[in-house]
Amino acid sequence: MQQDNRNNLPYRSNQQQRPETKPRDTLDLRDFWKTLVRQQRLIALIAGVTVLLTLLYTLLSANVYRSTTTLQIEREGTTIKFGESDLNNSGDIRDTRDFYQTQFELIRSRALAAKVIETLKLHENTPPSSLIGKIKQWFGSDDPRVKQTVLEEQLIDNLSVEPVKNSRLVAIHYESSSPEQAAQIANAVAATFHAMNMERRSSAATDAQTYLSGSVQEAKNKLEEAEKRLTQYAQEHEIIQIDGKDVTTSSMNVQTFSEKLSQIQQERFDKESKLAVLSDKARPAAERIGILKDNSAYLQTLAQRLDQLKTQKSSTAELRQQIRNLENEIDAEIATKLTSINSELEAIKKEESLVHESIARAKAAAMQEQDKSIAYNTLQREVTTNQELYQSLLQRMKEISVAGGMAANNVVIIDKAQVPLKKFKPSLSTNLAFGTLLGLLLGMSAAFLRDFMDDRVKDVAELERATALPVLGIVPAVQDYTPDQLAMLAVKEPRSSIAESFRSLRTALRFVLQDGSKGIIFVTSAHAGEGKSTTTSNLACAYANAGNKVLLIDADLRNPSLHKTLGITNETGLSNYLEGYGDTTAMVQATGINNLSLIPAGTLPDDPAELISSAQMESLLATARDAYDLILIDGPPVLGLADAVILASLADTTLVTVRAESTHLSTLGNALKRLRQSHANLSGILLNRVDMRRGGNFGYDYANYYYYQSGNSQTAPSGKLASLLQRFKLL
C-alpha cells in the first residue's frame, strides 16, 4: 500500500537527477594547487619548523675549515722493457674510469688512514667537525681498538677526493675544526698515498723476483733429475754418444761390420780382377805381370829379359830357345801366382760370408734396441725442454732484478695543502636556503599525503564524482552565532550570505520537484552534527518568505531541536499523534514566521521507527499534502538508525546535508547506499559550513559580494588585496 502511494507521488526520477560524471584520467594542475591551498597551514608549519631546526643546527655547529692538496695521477707509470719483458705495468685495469675510481678508494682506505694516524700520532681523538661526530664521541667506547676504529672512520668521513674535470689532477680535501690540522692531515694523506704507491710498485717487482727465484730453483731441480734419468738409462742400455750422436752397441757393431764388409768386398774385387788378367794367356806377358807389380819383382825381371831378347835382330835357335825358356818360366811363376790368388780369393769369400752373417745378427739386435732408443730420445727431449725453461726463467729473473730499482711512480704531488684562512662551513645563507627548500618539499609531501589519506569532503567536484549526486547548494560558515540564531538567519538577516544560499537551494529544488514548489522534502545527514536541523529550518523560512505555505515536521524522535529554535512547546507533537493521542489540530502549531507551521516531535517514544512506519504517518502526510504547498521533514541521521530510511521512502525527494571538511566520503557513501537500497529519491546534496575564505576549493568565489554591498562596505578591504588577506585568514 505504501509503495502504491509513492508511485502516485509527483517526483522526478532519481536517475535523471544524477550528474553526468566522467573518470579523471588526466592530470589537473588545479587540483594540486587546491591541495596546497587547503593544506597551507600544514606546509607553513613544517617549513617553519624545518627552517628553525636548520638555524639551530647552523648556530650550534662548530666552524669547519677545508684544506686541499692536489695530486697528478697518470694512467700508467714509466714502462721499462727488456726484450719481451714489460716491467712496471700498472695491472690489467681495462677502463680509465675504473683505474681512477680505484685510486680514489685507495686514498680513502682504512690502511692509509691508519698510517696517517700513526705518522701524525693522532691517537688522541681529534675534535669532531660536526654535531653528529660529537654525538658519536659522547657515546664512544674506551676500548683502544674501538677508539682506533672510530678515529679511522672519523678521518675518512672528513676526507673527500674530487677529480679535476678534463685533467689527470685529483684534489684531496680534508675538513677539520682546526685549520692547521686540516692542512697537516691533507698533506699527510697525499704523502702517505705517494709513498704507498711507490712501495706497492716496488713490491710488485720484488714479489715477481721472489716468485721467479722459486721457479728457477724448481726448474733447476727438474733439469737435474731429467739428466740423471737420461744418464742412468744410457748406462743401463749401453747407449753412448759419438760425434754428438747417441748410439748403442748393436748400432756400433752394424756400422763396424758394414765398414769391414766394404773392405773385404774391395779386396775380393781386386783379387778377381788380378785373377782374370793373369788367367788370360792372350794378353802380353808384360801386361799380365804388370798387375802384380810389388808382389812379383822376379817376374818383372824375367819380363824385362824377355823383352830384351825379343828386341835382338838376329834370330838364332839359341835365342829362340832362351825366349821359350823365359816364357815357360814366366808361365810357371804366373801359375803359381794364380794358385796363390785363388787361395786368397776363397779365403776372402769365406770372410765376406762371415761378415754378412755378423751384420745380420747386429741388425737384428739393433732392431730390438730401437724401443730403448725411443725412450732414450724422450728422456733427452725432457732434458732439453727443462734446460730451455731454466735458462728462460734465469734470464727473466736477471732482467727483473735490474729493473726493480728503476720503477717510476705515477703519482706526483703538485700543490701542498695550505692553512685555510676562512671557514668552509657552516654557511648560514646556504643552510637557510636549503632548509627552506627542504621544508617546502617536506610540507608539500606531508600535505599531499594528508590529503590522500584524508577522505573528508574538500572539493565539490570530487564530492559529486564520489556520490553521483549534484551539489544543490553551498552554505558558508559564519562565526559568532549560536545554533538557534543560525537556524533563523534566512529570516532575520535576509541580505546575508546564509539567506542567499538557502534561496539558491530553494531555486534548485524547484527543478527537482515535479510541481515546482509542491511536495515532501526529507532532510537528513550521514551523522549527527552536520547541520540538517539548521538546514531544514532555514530552507522552510526561505520557502515561507517566498509565499509558500510550509509545514515543518520534526521527525527526529530521538533528539528533537526545532521546537527550541522556533520557540514552540513540545508537550504534544508527532509522537503523541502517531501513538493515537491527540488530533492534527492540536499537533500543528503556528510559528512567528508567516506561512510557516511546525509539528514538534512531542514526547520521546520507546520505538520511534515503529511509529514512523505506521499507517498514521502515511495518513498524516497525505492530509498535509492537501493543506500545504510544501512539507519539510527533519529526520535523524541515516547511519545506525532505521528512522531515516523509512522517512526517505515516504518523501518525494531526499536532501542530504554534508558538512564541509568534516564528513568522510566513506561514511557518506555508506549512508547513500542505505538510502538507495530503500529506493529513496535522492535529489542532491547540500554542502554545509563551507569556509568561503577557502572557497576556491569548492568551486565558488562569490561569498564576499553580499557583505561589501552592505552599509559596512566602506571599511572593508576590496579587490585582490581582500581576496588575498581572506585566503591567508588575515581578515
Angle at 546 between CA 542 and CA 549, to 5 degrees: 90
What is the grid cell recorded at 235? 748406462
pLDDT at 262: 81
pLDDT at 656: 92
Nearest Cα to Cα of residue 463 among 727, 701, 684? 684
Q: 110-120 and 179-236 helices cross at what angle (nearest 10)?
A: 120
Statement: residue 319 has pLDDT above 90: no
Statement: residue 728 has pLDDT above 50: no
pLDDT at 246: 55
- Higher per-residue pLDDT: 647 or 697: 647
Calpha distance 458→462 (Å, rounded): 8
Mean pLDDT, the chain, integer: 76
Which residue is listed with cell 572593508? 716
Single-letter residue type at 56: L
- Higher per-residue pLDDT: 562 or 261: 562
- For the chain, what are the domain ranges? 30-61+426-454, 65-210+410-415, 249-368, 455-700
pLDDT at 315: 67
Strand partners, 690: 476
pLDDT at 250: 66
Q: How confident is the model at residue 207 (pLDDT cuts 50, 70, 90)?
A: low
Single-letter residue type at 728: F
Single-letter residue type at 211: Y
Exposed e or buried b per residue across 32-49, where buried means at least 16 C-beta atoms within 10 angstroms of its C-beta: eebbbebbbebbeebbee
- Higher per-residue pLDDT: 207 or 605: 605
Percent of all residues in the chain with a pLDDT value above 90, rounded to a whole number? 11
User: How confident is the model over 131-154, as a mean pLDDT?
Assistant: 68
- Higher per-residue pLDDT: 426 or 302: 426
pLDDT at 130: 53
Q: How confident is the model at residue 11 (pLDDT cuts 50, 70, 90)?
A: very low
Calpha distance 451→36 (Å, rounded): 9
Reduced 3-state DSSP string for 371-408? HHHHHHHHHHHHHHHHHHHHHHHHHHHHHHHHHHHHCC
Single-letter residue type at 547: G
Q: What is the pTM of this model?
A: 0.51
Statement: residue 140 has pLDDT above 70: no
Q: How confident is the model at residue 18 (pLDDT cuts 50, 70, 90)?
A: very low
Percent of all residues in the chain with a pLDDT value above 70, rounded to a whole number? 73
Q: Taking a C-beta distance cutoff of 8 angstroms, is the pair 487, 537 a contact?
A: yes
The mean-pLDDT minimum among 418-422, 639-643, 674-678 falls in 639-643
Residue 303: count of CB within 10 angstroms of its CB: 23
The DSSP line for 1-13 is: -HHHHHHHS-B--
What is the grid cell recorded at 568? 514552540
Calpha distance 284→288 (Å, rounded): 6
CATH architecture of 455-700: 3-Layer(aba) Sandwich (3.40)
Statement: residue 653 has pLDDT above 80: yes
pLDDT at 727: 45
Tell me: the pLDDT tens digits for 249-266? Answer: 666 777 777 887 788 878
pLDDT at 248: 61
The mean-pLDDT minimum among 475-489, 602-616, 703-717 falls in 703-717
Nearest Cα to Cα of residue 651 among 678, 685, 669? 678
Residues across the chain: 731
What is the grid cell recorded at 322? 832362351
The mean-pLDDT minimum among 138-142, 199-203, 329-333, 616-620 falls in 138-142
Q: What is the CA radius of gyration of the chain?
A: 65
Statement: residue 694 has pLDDT above 80: no
Statement: residue 387 has pLDDT above 60: yes
Q: How confident is the model at residue 370 (pLDDT cuts 50, 70, 90)?
A: low
pLDDT at 455: 73
Calpha distance 559→163 (Å, rounded): 78
DSSP state of 605: P
Tell me: the pLDDT tens digits for 33-47? Answer: 877 887 888 999 999
Tell me: the pLDDT tens digits for 494-507? Answer: 888 888 888 888 88
pLDDT at 633: 92
Tell me: the pLDDT tens digits for 227-254? Answer: 787 787 777 766 665 555 555 666 677 7
Q: How confident is the model at residue 134 (pLDDT cuts 50, 70, 90)?
A: low
pLDDT at 441: 94
What is the grid cell recorded at 311? 828386341
User: How confident is the model over 514-539, as a mean pLDDT?
Assistant: 83
pLDDT at 579: 85
The mean-pLDDT minimum among 87-96, 317-326, 587-596 falls in 87-96
Which residue is listed with cell 725442454? 385
| Element spanning 113, H or E | helix 110-120
The mean-pLDDT minimum among 70-74, 350-354, 680-684 falls in 350-354
